Chain A
Amino acid sequence: MSGAARVGLTIDGRPVEAAAGASVLKAAEAAGIAIPHFCYHPGLEIEGNCRMCLVEIEGYPKLELSCSTVVREGMIVRTSTDRVRAARKDVLEFLLAEHPLDCPICDKAGECLLQDHYGLHGRYAGRMAEVRERREKKIPIGRGLILDRERCVLCTRCVRFLRQVTRTGELGVFERAVGSELGLAEGRPVDNDYSGNLVDICPVGAITSEDFRFRTRAWFLDRRPSVCPRCARGCAVVVESVTGYPLAAGERRVYRVTAGVNPAVNGHWICDLGREGRREIDEGRLGAVLRKGVREPGLAWPGAVAGIAAAVRSVPAAERPGGVAVVLNARLTSEELALARELFVAGLGLRNVFFAGLKPGRADGLLLTAERMPNGRGVLEAGLSPRPPALEALAAARVLIVFGPYLTEHFEAGALGRALAAVPAKFLVSAHAGPLDRLFDAVLPVTVPAEKAGTYTNIDGLRQGFSRAVEPAPGVVPEGAVLARLARSLGLDIGDADAR
């Protein structure tokens, strides 16, 4: 990139530099000049059908598409002349002439390009007095997606996505002229693991998700970036939540996880597995310390950590390396893994430090990796060895500290139960409730990745820092805080106590 030739041009009177081969639209965007558009999407091939991004270029008699016109040295572009403004207004008037005015019941309202552009570039007195085209408004097209043909502006982003990205090609445009409409081949619904992106890229409310429809309004959502923890790719995601506690019964906190943009990792897309990650942020969460599987109202997490520390201290220092066993996981951030190494390996000199995790799945050749834990590379970088847990070693421990609910992925329930029964003192640190809870002396509730800050190293070795995207419930802390407090309680000085 850095070696690429640069081109100098003028946009709206400002000198602008752009990479050779870049479009006028991209050059303008980079200079902070937004050019409205519908069909253009940086992750898809140019289509040029919406006609919204027309600009004036000196020397050209007609308005030109800024999405497809390549910058040239000395080019003079104007994006807000009367001609350009008139064209935008006309294009909007056409699009809205055959678009239902159903914003109050449309899920896209608040994040709809048609609304946004109308506010900025439309504002005309309506002249459409003819009968509008009637089309089907609630067509299930597969994977929980609903198509509204009246709202569709035929930008074909969805069609192109399915042809160019997933190469599954389910959607097409049928008929022609004003009768043109999106459709599927009979009996071949949208069926790929990237289907949720269709909702993200639809500039209007033509494709919506059953998981999100009619549940909230876009303007209530707080959108913060994070890194997807559901495989080792480390895709950029946006966690969209409502703020504040407590939630009413059944109310959602995180309404959706959408694709973030990271050219180095995922471009503009995420897989449906990552998108469904919204569930694990909200659902099945532990909200309080459990003792023998039962909620212990009087016990907060510091008290529970004190209990762990006491158990560890009860093992004579010389016997601790074999007597205390720990199971970590690769969802811990690199910072937490470093703390864990300082505490368990360097500090306590434990021999039995294991890693449990989700079983590998299938890589899909696009983004999803076989590895389903996000920070496997971080484990290695922290100087830890990703040894799988050995049941005999766990059973032989006098104190067992387990991070995450993943032992069930490695062992059959009966054998695991018997092994745990043999351990005199055992503690589980987990974000989610699960079948292991009642087998442990105490369970400490901790955050999910979206609720904490840290670093993951993805499958390609890219280190990516991320910040807290959702506020955790009161009393729910990151594993880092547990580790730091435990270290302090054991008299080990391992630096910053606050994992954040």
Chain B
Amino acid sequence: MTEPEALLLPPDDGSWRLADYLRRGGYEAARKALTSMAPADVVSEVRRANLRGRGGAGFPAGVKWGFVPPAGPGPRYLCVNTDEGEPGTFKDRLILRRAPHALIEGLVITAFAVGVPKAFIYVRGEYARTAGRLEAALAEARAAGFIGPRVLGTDFSLDVVVHYGAGAYICGEETALLESLEGRRGLPRVKPPFPAAVGLFRAPTVVNNVETLAAVPGIIRRGADWFVGRGLPKDGGTRLFGVSGAVRRPGVYELPVGTPLRRIIEDHAGGPPEGRRIKAVVPGGLSAPVLRPEEIDLPMDYDSLAGAGSMLGSAGIVVIPDGAPMLDILHLTARFYAHESCGKCAPCRIGTAWMLKIVERLRRSGGRPADLDLILSLGEGIRGRTLCPLGDGAAQSVRAVVTKFREELEQAVAR
């Protein structure tokens, strides 16, 4: 499979500790960056690696870092987005549990690259117990001089704070995360200005996903070319593909970007259990439009998924088996967005609730095909009219279920 340095998910047997991580070459990349590279060189190396954000939006990390204005006198921050909440996504949880030092090392390198002395790790509240290992790893790293004052004996210092959310999917959106971190309701901000210019406490801020940062040490240690070689030219490296639902071996699989979806499901996750067939696949978390079985022969990278009318998103793959009523899937999809909409933008606040009300009525007392058309139309009313992608996610995921399983839904609601 893959080499261990980029991102290691060792067995869950205690090897998350610093000693193990060091034995596998841990913190060598941090040492290399801090003692032999200029921050700008680190940024350009990561840019060359085409490391695209692993949170869902897929924005190239090096480019994002480049937006931060040159170091000035004021504060600047780095925020780690660990608000994993996209249904079907559980990869970041595994990094916290099994490879917290990979995250910390990536954090150190990134903070050095963008000149940040203070970082916040925003962990969703529900992960507080799981993040115990992260906190323990931070203590180890602090004691070993990998974070804190004068990292590795250099002039660079880094203070790291773990901040727990309290139950709000929207805080995974980077500006909502910043609002939440500042002690407010997690409502997305108007962009521009982007966080790189005006972010946490109005200071330049980089927000990166856990997996994105955990991929950084490998790039620095082995070089951008090595990283690109492990994935695709425009979408480098390996990714953590979470597979759940109707498969024999649910779990997280670290595979090159571009690995075909069908291979991930069938070869790695073992395919559907005996006697079950694939009815549908959600390829990148709930917000990624569902694919029909005949659509899953495609490489798992941002561009290919976009080309298929879906998205790679968080690469959380959920396999829906035959026998699962799509009206139920439609219901839980609509319910999720209606529950998690922050309520700021009118179309999302009201549109998601309206869609849910219709679906609930269809489940309760049936309806007509026109109800399905109305749902689609409401989705169109939301799409592209909201501040953040939650509205788009709601619209496109609902749309895919309705259009791709229309016949079944029409039968289900016609009573």
Residues of A near any B CB (own CB < 8 A): 46-52, 54, 62-63, 65, 68, 87, 90-91, 93-95, 97-98, 127-128, 130-131, 133, 153-154, 173, 175-180
- B338 contacts A by Cβ under 8 Å: yes
- B152 contacts A by Cβ under 8 Å: no
Q: Given the complex of chains A and B, what is the CA–CA distance between A1 and B147 in angstroms?
A: 49
- B298 contacts A by Cβ under 8 Å: no
With A178-B341, A179-B343 already in contact, the answer to whether A62 and B353 are too (CB < 8 A) is no
B190 near A177 (CB under 8 angstroms)? no
B347 near A51 (CB under 8 angstroms)? yes
B341 near A176 (CB under 8 angstroms)? yes
Q: Which residue of the partner chain, among B343, B347, B357, contacts A177 with CB atoms under 8 Å?
A: B343
With A49-B344, A176-B341 already in contact, the answer to whether A90 and B349 are too (CB < 8 A) is no
Chain A residues with CB under 8 Å of B347's CB are: 51, 90-91, 94
- B229 contacts A by Cβ under 8 Å: no
- B400 contacts A by Cβ under 8 Å: no
- B321 contacts A by Cβ under 8 Å: no
Q: Given the complex of chains A and B, what is the CA–CA distance between A154 and B168 in angstroms?
A: 19
Choose, from B49-57, B241-249, B380-388, the stretch at the interface: B380-388
Chain B residues with CB under 8 Å of A173's CB are: 185, 343
Binary contact track B374-393/A, C-beta < 8 Å → 1, others 0 = 10010011001111000000
Which chain B residues in 107-165 approach chain A with CB under 8 Å?
Answer: none
- B209 contacts A by Cβ under 8 Å: no
B346 near A91 (CB under 8 angstroms)? yes
With A48-B387, A87-B385 already in contact, the answer to whether A176 and B350 are too (CB < 8 A) is no
**Closest B residue, CB atoms, query A177:** B341
CB distance from B341 to the nearest CB of A (A): 4
Main secondary structure of the interface of B (DSSP, over half): helix
Q: Which residue of the partner chain, among B190, B343, B357, contacts A180 with CB atoms under 8 Å?
A: B343
A–B pairs, 25, beta carbons within 8 Å: A47-B190, A49-B345, A50-B346, A51-B346, A52-B346, A63-B384, A90-B380, A90-B385, A94-B349, A127-B374, A130-B354, A130-B357, A130-B358, A133-B353, A153-B346, A173-B185, A176-B168, A176-B185, A176-B341, A176-B343, A177-B339, A177-B342, A177-B343, A177-B349, A178-B338
A130 near B361 (CB under 8 angstroms)? yes
**Closest B residue, CB atoms, query A127:** B374
- B352 contacts A by Cβ under 8 Å: yes
**Closest A residue, CB atoms, query B353:** A178
B381 near A94 (CB under 8 angstroms)? yes
CB distance from B69 to the nearest CB of A (A): 18
B357 near A94 (CB under 8 angstroms)? no
We find that the number of chain B residues with CB closer than 8 angstroms to chain A is: 30
**Closest A residue, CB atoms, query B351:** A94
Chain A residues with CB under 8 Å of B168's CB are: 176
Chain B residues with CB under 8 Å of A153's CB are: 346
B357 near A131 (CB under 8 angstroms)? yes
Q: Which 8 A-B pairs have the closest CB atoms?
A: A180-B343, A178-B353, A90-B381, A130-B357, A48-B190, A94-B350, A177-B341, A176-B343
Contacts A97-B350, A173-B185 supplied; 19 other A-B pairs, CB < 8 Å: A47-B190, A49-B344, A50-B346, A54-B385, A87-B384, A87-B385, A90-B380, A91-B346, A91-B347, A94-B350, A98-B353, A130-B357, A130-B361, A153-B346, A154-B346, A176-B343, A177-B340, A179-B343, A180-B343
CB distance from B218 to the nearest CB of A (A): 33
**Closest B residue, CB atoms, query A99:** B350
Q: Which residue of the partner chain, among A52, A62, A95, A154, contacts B343 with CB atoms under 8 Å?
A: A154
Chain B residues with CB under 8 Å of A95's CB are: 346, 350
CB distance from B396 to the nearest CB of A (A): 14
Chain A residues with CB under 8 Å of B380's CB are: 90
Chain A residues with CB under 8 Å of B341's CB are: 176-178
